[in-house]
Amino acid sequence: MHTLTSSGVTSQISLQDGGVPNRIPLHPFGEFFGNGRRFVFDEASLAAVREQLRQNGRPWVLDWHHATLDVEAGKRDKAPAAGFIQDVVVEEGYVYGLVEWTPEGAADVMKGAFAFISPVLLHTEDGHVVGYHSHALTNRPGTQWQRRIGMEEKMDWLRQMVGLPPDAGEEQVRAALEALQARAQLGDLLVQSLGLSDATVTPELRARVIRLAANEQVLDEVSRLRQQLEQEARQREQQRIQALVEAALEDGRILPDQRELFLRLAASDFEATRMALEALPPRVPTQLPQLQPAQKQERAALSDNDLAVAQLVGVSKEALLKYGGDE
């Protein structure tokens, strides 16, 4: 028993600039799901749809929003064609339609007005696809994990950009892009680790960095170096903050219970905190006062006893007046 159902497509890769694609993704090859039910398109399905095409002697119509179905149901009068699907092919687990566009259909696809295909499937009760009724341009696909129109052209462009052959699969393209991204990041790491500004990075130096970046074995070492440099920079900054706040504590510009507050402020905005602390008056003298040594006063006169003692020990009157006497 044959029935009609409609299905559709999904992807996040945009149609690239250039000509309209001559093949469009219809649905996955094998098992897939659409509109809440399971379908299977296998080798027998491929043979069946090609036999259908041969027997009918005409391509499948590609319209807008299943207008052909609506005309047959009496819901509208016209069903203009956006294109005609001349054949189907299977590539990398996906079924594609080879399409001949009308000018109107090509224009809508090129400007991005419609991004997906929704095929109307002929299938058995168990969901085995045996043919197509028609196909439609839509923006609300029903089939899960399908692809967007133009994805293949984008993939071809990506293959060329990363130097892969035309038959390279999506996983190979993804791996190549990830490798390029890692190398680009490695080049940035090398420049940062060397402490080079944009002004100092000459073309010759960039070429050396690129050659070094081509050796993926140094990636871990450069990453480790950058982490070490970042850690040392954080330590130096912490030491600078600590020194600023401790100096303010020592001369009394801030009190001990304000220490944590000013540490946080300095970590947030060092220069503003430094200026604020410098404007605070110190409360504790930073130097001890310089005291002048007291000079001994010479005695104005000596007693008779003093003179007698001085004479006995052989000390002159002048020396006794200068150095002797009671303190």
Per-residue pLDDT reduced to its tens digit, 254-290? 999 999 999 999 999 999 999 988 888 887 655 555 6
User: Does residue 43 share a domain with residue 149?
Assistant: yes
Final residue of a domain: which of 177, 199, 214? 214
CA–CA gap between residue 16 and residue 14 (Å, rounded): 6
More confident residue, 226 or 126: 126
User: Does residue 141 share a domain with residue 8?
Assistant: yes
Confidence of residue 149 (pLDDT cuts 50, 70, 90): confident
Residue 83: name the closest of 59, 65, 116, 67 by CA: 59
By the 10 Å C-beta count (0-12 exposed, 13-18 middle, 19+ buried), 321 is classed as: middle
User: Does residue 149 share a domain with residue 9?
Assistant: yes
DSSP 258: G
User: Does residue 26 share a domain with residue 98?
Assistant: yes
Q: What is the pLDDT of residue 140?
A: 87
User: Does residue 244 share a domain with residue 192?
Assistant: no
Is 13 inside any structural domain?
A: yes
CA–CA gap between residue 103 and residue 148 (Å, rounded): 20
More confident residue, 305 or 294: 305
Highest mean pLDDT among 131-135, 171-175, 270-274, 317-321: 131-135
User: Does residue 87 share a domain with residue 120?
Assistant: yes
Is 161 inside any structural domain?
A: no
| Window from 33-42, 166-175, 197-206, 257-266 with minimum mean pLDDT | 197-206
- Contact between 154 and 24 (Cβ < 8 Å): no
pLDDT at 87 over 80: yes
Per-residue pLDDT reduced to its tens digit, 60-84? 999 999 999 999 999 999 999 999 9
CA–CA gap between residue 48 and residue 54 (Å, rounded): 10
Q: What is the pLDDT of residue 212?
A: 63
Q: What is the pLDDT of residue 90?
A: 94
- Which residues constitute the domain of residue 199? 169-214
CA–CA gap between residue 310 and residue 119 (Å, rounded): 135
Q: What is the pLDDT of residue 203?
A: 67
Is 21 inside any structural domain?
A: yes
More confident residue, 121 or 294: 121
Per-residue pLDDT reduced to its tens digit, 211-239? 665 565 556 666 666 676 677 778 889 99
- Contact between 159 and 173 (Cβ < 8 Å): yes
- List the structure tokens of 269: 């905005």
Highest mean pLDDT among 10-14, 110-114, 130-134, 148-152: 130-134
Percent of the chain with pLDDT over 70: 61
User: Does residue 198 share a domain with residue 59?
Assistant: no
Q: Taking CA 299 as the corner, what is the angle to CA 295 and CA 301, rounded to the nearest 5 degrees?
A: 170
- Contact between 276 and 305 (Cβ < 8 Å): no
Taking the mean position of all CA atoms in its chain, how far away is CA 77?
51
Q: What is the pLDDT of residue 150?
A: 78
User: Does residue 144 share a domain with residue 44?
Assistant: yes
Residue 260: name the closest of 275, 273, 251, 278 by CA: 273
What mean pLDDT, rounded, does the chain reach? Answer: 78
Per-residue pLDDT reduced to its tens digit, 44-63? 999 999 999 999 999 999 99
Is 179 inside any structural domain?
A: yes
DSSP 128: B
- List the structure tokens of 65: 């929003």
Is 312 inside any structural domain?
A: no
User: Does residue 128 share a domain with residue 68?
Assistant: yes
Distances, alpha carbon 5 to alpha carbons 39, 69, 251, in Å:
10, 11, 85
Q: What is the pLDDT of residue 276?
A: 87
Is 190 inside any structural domain?
A: yes
- List the structure tokens of 31: 């098992």
Confidence of residue 100 (pLDDT cuts 50, 70, 90): very high
User: Does residue 207 share a domain with residue 83?
Assistant: no
DSSP 136: E
Q: What is the pLDDT of residue 13?
A: 34
- Contact between 84 and 62 (Cβ < 8 Å): yes
Is 297 inside any structural domain?
A: no
pLDDT at 17 over 50: no
Question: Which residues is 37 bridged to in the sheet?
Answer: 34
User: Does residue 191 share a domain with residue 243?
Assistant: no
The end-to-end CA distance of the chain, in Å, is 133
The two beta strands, 30-34 and 23-28, are unpaired
Residue with tokens 């098992």: 31
Q: What is the pLDDT of residue 15?
A: 40
User: Does residue 137 share a domain with residue 203?
Assistant: no
How many domains does the chain contain in total? 3
CA–CA gap between residue 224 and residue 291 (Å, rounded): 58
Is 130 inside any structural domain?
A: yes
For the residues 166-178, what does the mean pLDDT come to? 72
pLDDT at 180 over 50: yes
